[in-house]
């Protein structure tokens, strides 16, 4: 089993080297004296635990701890305080540190703290893995029978095995619509768990992005008609060719369209523009709606899984809050970019940029980040 990685951050050489000597027999220890170096180390090695002096020149230890938790909330932190300073210790605990210890520290005490902190991290990671496996397994089990239900309802709606009354037609249309919504949720859960596990692979081939977008729009024709939403599409006369994974790109576009349709009120407009960005060697897909929108400060939060603008049980819009999270993760996976501008009660503008050349290298890099 690999040794855990511990990052020691302290601008004083004495405590820094002491911690290195104490911890080195049991762990992989990396020591830095500057806050900026600590942030850089997070991108170079998978850090399990940080010992951190909050009283440092330049970028404060508090800001460093915030950035550490933003990078990976499961990284444990132990605060090293000087001269019995309780205010820094309390601030560190408020930001999610495991515990604190005062200088000069006792060897056995620091070893015990580190061991307990790493045990808590391991327990949290294992719990997440169990949750992820559970979601993946139950999603697989639900997907097959649900697909059968959708298939049979489609046959009935097409009246291939008998005529339907108007009442039967409406009832089956509701079943079909809600089954489709549920299948979309399940597919997003499966995609997210595969991304987190690093199991997703790219299947690249020639794709016409314009045709792909039109196919995705056809999936939502019924919802557009029901809500009376006018959707206009502008695409290049010769199409928008690229080399990519059509299934992954389709999932991204579907999630973005689904969000636009869901949050756009009846009778409003959605505009989709597809363009060949030749200088960027990319295809750009813009989706602009005149829907509910959101405050700018909430946009980043919406890219996190299971986040909703309104998380109450009586919220107006249903869903698990996975659409944007999966779209962003898949976009990163295929080497593209996804930018969102939004204003509450005015609408949302989404710009999706996908490389027109193979993104295998970007995809392989993405599989290692989860």
**Residues contacting 368, CB < 8 A, separation 6+:** 198
Q: Which domain holds residue 186?
A: 131-197
Mean pLDDT, the chain, whole residue set = 83
The 10 Å Cβ neighbour count of residue 329 is 22
Q: Are residues 230 and 363 in the same domain?
A: yes
The 10 Å Cβ neighbour count of residue 147 is 13
Residue 129 banded pLDDT, cuts 50, 70, 90: confident
Tell me which of 294 and 77 has the higher pLDDT: 77
Q: Are residues 191 and 209 in the same domain?
A: no
Q: Are residues 214 and 278 in the same domain?
A: yes
Query: Within a domain: residue 126?
Result: no
The pLDDT of 29-54, averaged and rounded, is: 89
Q: How far apart are CA 8 and CA 31, in angstroms?
A: 5
pLDDT tens profile 177-227: 888 888 888 888 888 888 877 778 888 999 999 999 999 999 888 889 889
Q: Tell me, what's the pLDDT at 253? A: 95
Query: Within a domain: residue 118?
Result: no
The total number of structural domains in the chain stands at 3
Q: How far apart are CA 298 and CA 286, in angstroms?
A: 20
Query: Within a domain: residue 121?
Result: no
The pLDDT of 161-166, averaged and rounded, is: 88
**Residues contacting 79, CB < 8 A, separation 6+:** 52, 53, 54, 61, 88, 89, 92, 93, 97, 99, 100, 101
Between CA 357 and CA 255, with CA 257 as vertex, the angle to 5 degrees is 70
Q: Are residues 163 and 212 in the same domain?
A: no
Q: Are residues 231 and 247 in the same domain?
A: yes
Residue 361 banded pLDDT, cuts 50, 70, 90: very low
Smallest CA-to-CA distance from 260 within 246, 273, 276, 245 is with: 273
Rounded (10°) angle between helices 209-219 and 246-263: 50
Name which of 9-13, 105-109, 164-168, 298-302 the model is least confident about: 298-302
Q: What is the CATH number of the domain that holds 257?
A: 3.30.565.10
Quickly tell me which residue has 């576009």 as its tokens: 253
Instruction: Supply the DSSP symbol for 136.
Output: H
Query: Within a domain: residue 111?
Result: no
Q: Are residues 154 and 180 in the same domain?
A: yes
User: Pick from 197, 213, 240: which residue ends a domain?
Assistant: 197
Instruction: Supply the DSSP symbol for 105.
Output: P
Q: Are residues 220 and 73 in the same domain?
A: no
Largest distance between two CA atoms of the chain: 85
The listed range with the strongest mean pLDDT (1-10, 266-275, 312-321) is: 266-275
Q: How far apart are CA 51 and CA 239, in angstroms?
A: 55
Query: Within a domain: residue 228?
Result: yes
Q: Are residues 353 and 279 in the same domain?
A: yes
Q: What is the CATH number of the domain that holds 53?
A: 3.40.50.2300
Q: Are residues 354 and 228 in the same domain?
A: yes
Name which of 78-82, 130-134, 263-267 the model is least confident about: 130-134
Q: Are residues 139 and 52 in the same domain?
A: no
Which ranges constitute the DSSP H helices of 158-269?
166-197, 209-219, 221-227, 246-263
User: What are the tokens at 112?
Assistant: 């015990």
Query: Within a domain: residue 113?
Result: no
Q: Are residues 230 and 351 in the same domain?
A: yes
Asked if residue 302 has pLDDT above 70, the reply is no
Q: Are residues 210 and 353 in the same domain?
A: yes
Query: Within a domain: residue 34?
Result: yes
User: What are the tokens at 51?
Assistant: 């010992």
Q: How far apart are CA 154 and CA 175, in angstroms?
A: 10
Q: How far apart are CA 101 and CA 120, in angstroms?
A: 18
Instruction: Supply the DSSP symbol for 146.
Output: H
User: Pick from 178, 197, 216: which residue ends a domain?
Assistant: 197
User: Pick from 67, 89, 105: which residue ends a domain?
Assistant: 105
pLDDT tens profile 84-113: 456 666 767 777 788 888 777 789 989 999
Query: Within a domain: residue 267?
Result: yes
Task: Specify the pTM.
Answer: 0.60
Q: By the 8 A CB rule, do 80 and 51 touch?
A: yes
């Amino acid at each position: 089993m690999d040794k855990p990685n511990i990052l020691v951050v302290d601008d004083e050489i004495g405590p820094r080297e002491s911690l290195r000597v104490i911890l080195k027999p049991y762990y992989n220890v990396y020591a830095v004296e500057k806050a900026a170096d600590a942030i850089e180390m997070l991108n170079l090695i998978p850090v399990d635990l940080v010992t951190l002096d909050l009283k440092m020149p330049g970028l404060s230890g508090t800001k460093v701890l915030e950035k550490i938790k933003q990078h990976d909330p499961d990284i444990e932190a132990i605060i090293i305080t000087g001269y019995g300073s309780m205010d820094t210790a309390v601030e560190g605990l408020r930001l999610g540190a495991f515990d604190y210890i005062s200088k000069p520290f006792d060897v056995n005490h620091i070893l015990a703290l580190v061991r307990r902190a790493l045990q808590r991290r391991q327990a949290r990671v294992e719990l997440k893995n169990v949750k992820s496996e559970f979601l993946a397994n139950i999603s697989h089990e639900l997907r097959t029978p649900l697909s059968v239900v959708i298939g049979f309802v489609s046959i009935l709606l097409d009246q291939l095995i008998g005529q339907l009354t108007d009442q039967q037609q409406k009832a089956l249309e509701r079943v079909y619509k809600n089954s489709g919504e549920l299948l979309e949720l399940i597919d997003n859960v499966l995609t997210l768990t595969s991304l987190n596990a690093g199991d997703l692979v790219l299947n690249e081939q020639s794709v016409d992005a314009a045709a792909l977008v039109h196919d995705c729009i056809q999936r939502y024709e019924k919802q557009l008609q029901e809500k009376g939403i006018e959707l206009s599409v502008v695409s290049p006369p010769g199409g928008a060719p690229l080399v990519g994974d059509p299934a992954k790109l389709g999932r991204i576009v579907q999630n973005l369209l689904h969000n636009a349709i869901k949050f756009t009120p009846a009778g409003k407009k959605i505009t989709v523009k597809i363009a060949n960005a030749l200088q960027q060697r990319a295809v750009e897909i813009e989706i602009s709606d005149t829907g509910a929108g959101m405050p700018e400060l909430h946009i980043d939060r919406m890219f996190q899984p299971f986040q909703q603008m309104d998380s109450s049980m009586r919220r107006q819009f249903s869903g698990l809050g996975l659409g944007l999270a999966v779209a962003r993760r898949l976009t990163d996976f295929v080497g593209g970019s996804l930018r969102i501008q939004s204003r509450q009660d005015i609408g949302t503008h989404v710009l999706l940029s996908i490389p027109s050349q193979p993104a295998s290298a970007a995809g392989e890099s993405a599989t290692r980040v989860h």
